[in-house]
Amino acid sequence: AQSVAQPEDQVNVAEGNPLTVKCTYSVSGNPYLFWYVQYPNRGLQFLLKYITGDNLVKGSYGFEAEFNKSQTSFHLKKPSALVSDSALYFCAVRDNTGGFKTIFGAGTRLFVKA
Amino acid sequence: KAGVTQTPRYLIKTRGQQVTLSCSPISGHRSVSWYQQTPGQGLQFLFEYFSETQRNKGNFPGRFSGRQFSNSRSEMNVSTLELGDSALYLCASSLAPLAVNTGELFFGEGSRLTVL
Protein backbone atom coordinates (compact mmCIF):
# COMPACT_ATOMS: atom_id res chain seq x y z
CA ALA A 1 0.00 0.00 0.00
CA GLN A 2 1.10 3.52 -0.68
CA SER A 3 2.03 5.76 2.19
CA VAL A 4 3.90 8.96 2.78
CA ALA A 5 5.31 10.28 6.03
CA GLN A 6 6.30 13.75 7.03
CA PRO A 7 7.96 13.16 10.37
CA GLU A 8 7.95 16.78 11.53
CA ASP A 9 4.74 18.62 12.34
CA GLN A 10 6.62 21.89 12.38
CA VAL A 11 9.96 23.25 11.24
CA ASN A 12 11.38 26.51 12.51
CA VAL A 13 14.16 28.31 10.71
CA ALA A 14 15.63 31.79 10.71
CA GLU A 15 15.40 33.90 7.59
CA GLY A 16 18.46 33.47 5.42
CA ASN A 17 19.22 30.00 6.75
CA PRO A 18 18.80 26.84 4.71
CA LEU A 19 15.64 24.84 5.27
CA THR A 20 14.75 21.18 4.90
CA VAL A 21 11.31 19.63 5.12
CA LYS A 22 11.45 15.85 5.27
CA CYS A 23 9.39 13.27 3.44
CA THR A 24 9.64 9.50 3.17
CA TYR A 25 7.38 7.29 1.10
CA SER A 26 6.34 3.75 0.36
CA VAL A 27 4.91 2.57 -2.95
CA SER A 28 4.71 -0.75 -4.72
CA GLY A 29 6.13 0.46 -8.01
CA ASN A 30 8.24 3.41 -8.99
CA PRO A 31 7.06 6.59 -7.37
CA TYR A 32 5.74 9.82 -8.71
CA LEU A 33 6.56 12.37 -6.00
CA PHE A 34 5.23 15.87 -5.50
CA TRP A 35 5.53 18.80 -3.14
CA TYR A 36 2.71 21.27 -2.65
CA VAL A 37 2.45 24.38 -0.50
CA GLN A 38 -0.66 25.76 1.16
CA TYR A 39 -1.04 29.30 2.43
CA PRO A 40 -3.79 30.13 4.99
CA ASN A 41 -7.31 29.66 3.65
CA ARG A 42 -6.02 28.77 0.22
CA GLY A 43 -5.82 25.66 -1.89
CA LEU A 44 -2.62 23.74 -2.53
CA GLN A 45 -0.09 25.07 -4.99
CA PHE A 46 2.30 22.81 -6.87
CA LEU A 47 6.00 23.32 -6.12
CA LEU A 48 7.83 20.52 -7.89
CA LYS A 49 7.70 16.89 -8.90
CA TYR A 50 9.89 13.89 -9.54
CA ILE A 51 8.80 11.44 -12.20
CA THR A 52 12.08 10.10 -13.55
CA GLY A 53 15.57 11.28 -14.41
CA ASP A 54 17.85 13.52 -12.38
CA ASN A 55 17.48 12.94 -8.67
CA LEU A 56 17.70 16.66 -7.91
CA VAL A 57 14.55 18.45 -8.94
CA LYS A 58 14.22 22.22 -9.03
CA GLY A 59 10.88 23.90 -8.59
CA SER A 60 9.10 27.15 -7.94
CA TYR A 61 10.24 29.94 -5.58
CA GLY A 62 13.80 28.57 -5.30
CA PHE A 63 12.78 25.23 -3.81
CA GLU A 64 14.41 21.96 -4.77
CA ALA A 65 14.07 18.36 -3.68
CA GLU A 66 16.28 15.33 -3.82
CA PHE A 67 14.95 11.91 -4.66
CA ASN A 68 16.80 9.17 -2.79
CA LYS A 69 15.63 5.73 -3.85
CA SER A 70 17.65 3.76 -1.30
CA GLN A 71 16.30 5.83 1.57
CA THR A 72 12.86 6.23 -0.03
CA SER A 73 13.01 9.93 0.71
CA PHE A 74 12.13 13.11 -1.12
CA HIS A 75 13.18 15.98 1.14
CA LEU A 76 12.32 19.54 0.21
CA LYS A 77 15.11 22.09 0.50
CA LYS A 78 15.84 25.74 -0.02
CA PRO A 79 19.29 27.33 0.41
CA SER A 80 18.03 30.56 1.99
CA ALA A 81 14.63 30.80 3.67
CA LEU A 82 12.34 33.81 3.40
CA VAL A 83 9.67 34.90 5.87
CA SER A 84 7.19 34.56 3.01
CA ASP A 85 8.01 30.84 2.80
CA SER A 86 6.08 30.31 6.04
CA ALA A 87 3.24 27.98 5.09
CA LEU A 88 2.03 24.37 5.25
CA TYR A 89 3.95 21.96 3.03
CA PHE A 90 2.61 18.66 1.75
CA CYS A 91 4.52 15.80 0.23
CA ALA A 92 2.49 13.51 -2.05
CA VAL A 93 3.14 10.21 -3.75
CA ARG A 94 1.56 8.11 -6.43
CA ASP A 95 2.84 4.85 -7.87
CA ASN A 96 3.24 4.26 -11.58
CA THR A 97 1.60 0.85 -11.69
CA GLY A 98 -1.75 2.27 -12.74
CA GLY A 99 -2.82 3.38 -9.31
CA PHE A 100 -5.06 6.38 -9.36
CA LYS A 101 -4.74 7.75 -5.92
CA THR A 102 -2.38 10.53 -4.89
CA ILE A 103 -1.60 10.09 -1.20
CA PHE A 104 -0.70 13.18 0.77
CA GLY A 105 1.42 13.40 3.88
CA ALA A 106 0.03 15.01 7.00
CA GLY A 107 1.80 18.25 6.23
CA THR A 108 4.64 20.16 7.84
CA ARG A 109 4.18 23.71 9.00
CA LEU A 110 7.19 25.86 8.24
CA PHE A 111 7.84 28.98 10.31
CA VAL A 112 10.54 31.34 9.09
CA LYS A 113 11.48 34.02 11.61
CA ALA A 114 12.89 37.36 10.59
CA LYS B 1 -6.17 31.02 -18.06
CA ALA B 2 -8.62 30.93 -15.16
CA GLY B 3 -7.80 28.57 -12.33
CA VAL B 4 -9.99 26.08 -10.52
CA THR B 5 -13.03 27.82 -9.07
CA GLN B 6 -14.90 26.51 -6.07
CA THR B 7 -18.15 27.88 -4.69
CA PRO B 8 -19.18 28.73 -2.12
CA ARG B 9 -15.98 29.58 -0.26
CA TYR B 10 -17.57 29.46 3.17
CA LEU B 11 -20.79 28.00 4.45
CA ILE B 12 -22.40 27.07 7.73
CA LYS B 13 -24.94 24.27 8.07
CA THR B 14 -26.59 22.43 10.92
CA ARG B 15 -26.57 18.72 11.61
CA GLY B 16 -28.93 16.75 9.43
CA GLN B 17 -28.92 19.24 6.57
CA GLN B 18 -27.37 18.59 3.20
CA VAL B 19 -24.89 20.64 1.22
CA THR B 20 -23.81 20.90 -2.39
CA LEU B 21 -20.40 22.24 -3.37
CA SER B 22 -19.38 23.22 -6.87
CA CYS B 23 -16.09 23.06 -8.74
CA SER B 24 -15.24 24.45 -12.16
CA PRO B 25 -11.94 23.02 -13.44
CA ILE B 26 -9.37 24.75 -15.56
CA SER B 27 -10.57 25.03 -19.14
CA GLY B 28 -9.71 21.84 -21.01
CA HIS B 29 -9.22 19.75 -17.88
CA ARG B 30 -11.54 16.79 -17.79
CA SER B 31 -10.50 15.16 -14.53
CA VAL B 32 -11.87 16.53 -11.28
CA SER B 33 -11.01 15.03 -7.93
CA TRP B 34 -12.23 15.98 -4.48
CA TYR B 35 -10.39 15.96 -1.16
CA GLN B 36 -11.45 16.56 2.41
CA GLN B 37 -8.93 18.41 4.56
CA THR B 38 -9.18 18.37 8.34
CA PRO B 39 -6.52 19.16 10.97
CA GLY B 40 -6.62 15.64 12.33
CA GLN B 41 -6.81 13.58 9.14
CA GLY B 42 -4.96 15.74 6.64
CA LEU B 43 -6.05 15.41 3.02
CA GLN B 44 -8.32 12.47 2.32
CA PHE B 45 -9.32 11.48 -1.21
CA LEU B 46 -13.08 11.50 -1.78
CA PHE B 47 -13.57 10.68 -5.46
CA GLU B 48 -12.51 11.42 -9.00
CA TYR B 49 -14.60 12.14 -12.05
CA PHE B 50 -13.50 12.03 -15.65
CA SER B 51 -15.76 12.57 -18.64
CA GLU B 52 -18.85 12.52 -16.43
CA THR B 53 -17.97 9.12 -14.95
CA GLN B 54 -16.83 8.42 -11.44
CA ARG B 55 -13.46 6.74 -11.87
CA ASN B 56 -12.47 6.18 -8.29
CA LYS B 57 -13.80 6.58 -4.79
CA GLY B 58 -12.15 6.92 -1.42
CA ASN B 59 -13.25 5.44 1.89
CA PHE B 60 -16.13 7.73 2.71
CA PRO B 61 -19.73 6.78 3.54
CA GLY B 62 -22.47 6.91 0.98
CA ARG B 63 -23.60 10.28 2.32
CA PHE B 64 -20.82 11.72 0.19
CA SER B 65 -21.63 11.74 -3.49
CA GLY B 66 -20.69 13.65 -6.57
CA ARG B 67 -21.28 14.12 -10.23
CA GLN B 68 -19.71 15.73 -13.24
CA PHE B 69 -21.41 17.56 -16.04
CA SER B 70 -20.64 17.59 -19.75
CA ASN B 71 -18.70 20.84 -19.37
CA SER B 72 -16.48 19.10 -16.75
CA ARG B 73 -17.89 21.12 -13.87
CA SER B 74 -18.37 18.95 -10.83
CA GLU B 75 -20.51 19.01 -7.76
CA MET B 76 -20.24 17.09 -4.55
CA ASN B 77 -23.07 16.56 -2.14
CA VAL B 78 -23.06 15.61 1.50
CA SER B 79 -26.36 14.53 2.97
CA THR B 80 -27.39 14.23 6.61
CA LEU B 81 -24.50 16.36 7.77
CA GLU B 82 -22.61 15.41 10.91
CA LEU B 83 -20.37 17.56 13.08
CA GLY B 84 -17.37 15.60 11.82
CA ASP B 85 -18.04 16.73 8.27
CA SER B 86 -16.71 20.17 9.15
CA ALA B 87 -13.70 20.55 6.90
CA LEU B 88 -12.11 22.30 3.99
CA TYR B 89 -13.25 20.58 0.80
CA LEU B 90 -10.74 20.91 -1.99
CA CYS B 91 -11.27 20.27 -5.64
CA ALA B 92 -8.41 19.56 -8.01
CA SER B 93 -8.36 19.31 -11.77
CA SER B 94 -5.97 17.74 -14.23
CA LEU B 95 -5.84 17.22 -17.95
CA ALA B 96 -5.71 13.45 -17.86
CA PRO B 97 -7.31 10.89 -15.58
CA LEU B 98 -5.44 10.33 -12.35
CA ALA B 99 -4.51 6.80 -13.42
CA VAL B 100 -2.34 8.04 -16.27
CA ASN B 101 -1.53 11.52 -15.10
CA THR B 102 2.14 12.24 -14.43
CA GLY B 103 1.54 15.91 -13.87
CA GLU B 104 0.50 17.93 -10.94
CA LEU B 105 -2.96 18.58 -9.65
CA PHE B 106 -4.36 22.09 -9.83
CA PHE B 107 -6.32 22.94 -6.70
CA GLY B 108 -9.08 25.39 -6.06
CA GLU B 109 -9.11 27.50 -2.92
CA GLY B 110 -11.60 25.23 -1.25
CA SER B 111 -15.01 25.40 0.35
CA ARG B 112 -14.89 25.63 4.11
CA LEU B 113 -17.88 23.88 5.61
CA THR B 114 -18.82 24.33 9.25
CA VAL B 115 -21.48 22.04 10.68
CA LEU B 116 -23.13 23.20 13.90
Read off the pLDDT of residues A31-80 as tens digits, 9 standing for 90 and up.
889 999 999 878 899 999 998 888 999 999 999 999 999 999 999 999 99
pLDDT of residue B1: 65
Across the range B62-82, mean pLDDT stands at: 97
In the Cβ-directed half-sphere of A42, how many Cα atoms lie within 13 Å?
Answer: 13
- Give how far B110 is from chain A: nearest CA, Å: 6
- Please name the helix (run of DSSP H) or strand (run of DSSP E) that holds residue B10, with its range, or none: strand B10-13
pLDDT at A15 over 60: yes
Question: For residue A62, what are the contacts with CB-CB under 8 A and spacing of at least 6?
Answer: A78, A79, A80
Across the range B39-53, mean pLDDT stands at: 89
Percent of chain B whose predicted confidence (pLDDT) is above 90: 72
pLDDT confidence tier of residue B42, bands split at 50, 70 and 90: confident
pLDDT of residue B41: 82
- The answer to which of A79-93, B37-51, B96-110 has the lowest mean pLDDT is B96-110
Residue-level length of chain B: 116
Across the range B60-67, mean pLDDT stands at: 97
pLDDT of residue B83: 97
Q: How far apart are CA B110 and CA B90, in angstroms?
A: 4
- Please name the helix (run of DSSP H) or strand (run of DSSP E) that holds residue A78, with its range, or none: strand A73-78
What separation in angstroms does the CA of A22 have from each of A35, A43, B18?
11, 21, 39
Q: Sign of the C-alpha dihedral, residues B92, B96, B100, B105?
A: negative
Is residue A109 less than 8 Å (CB to CB) from chain B?
A: no
Percent of chain A whose predicted confidence (pLDDT) is above 70: 95
Chain A residues close to B95, C-beta within 8 Å: none
Tell which wins on pLDDT, A100 or B84. B84
Chain A residues close to B60, C-beta within 8 Å: none
- Give how far A60 is from chain B: nearest CA, Å: 13
Q: Look over chain A and give the mean of its residue pLDDT values, rounded to a whole number.
A: 91
Amino acid at B27: S
pLDDT of residue A96: 63
> Among partner residues A44, A49, A98, which is closest to B107 by beta-carbon distance?
A44
Give the residue numbers in B contacting A (CB under 8 Å), as ranges: 4, 6, 35, 42-43, 45, 48, 55-56, 58, 90, 92, 97-99, 102-110, 112
pLDDT at B100 over 80: no
Contact A107 B107 (CB under 8 A): no
Question: For residue A20, what are the contacts with CB-CB under 8 A and spacing of at least 6?
Answer: A11, A75, A76, A77
Helices marked H in chain B: none
pLDDT at A97 over 70: no
Question: For residue B17, what are the contacts with CB-CB under 8 A and spacing of at least 6?
Answer: B81
Select from B87, B106, B88 the least CA-distant residue to B96. Answer: B106
pLDDT of residue A99: 56
pLDDT at B71 over 60: yes
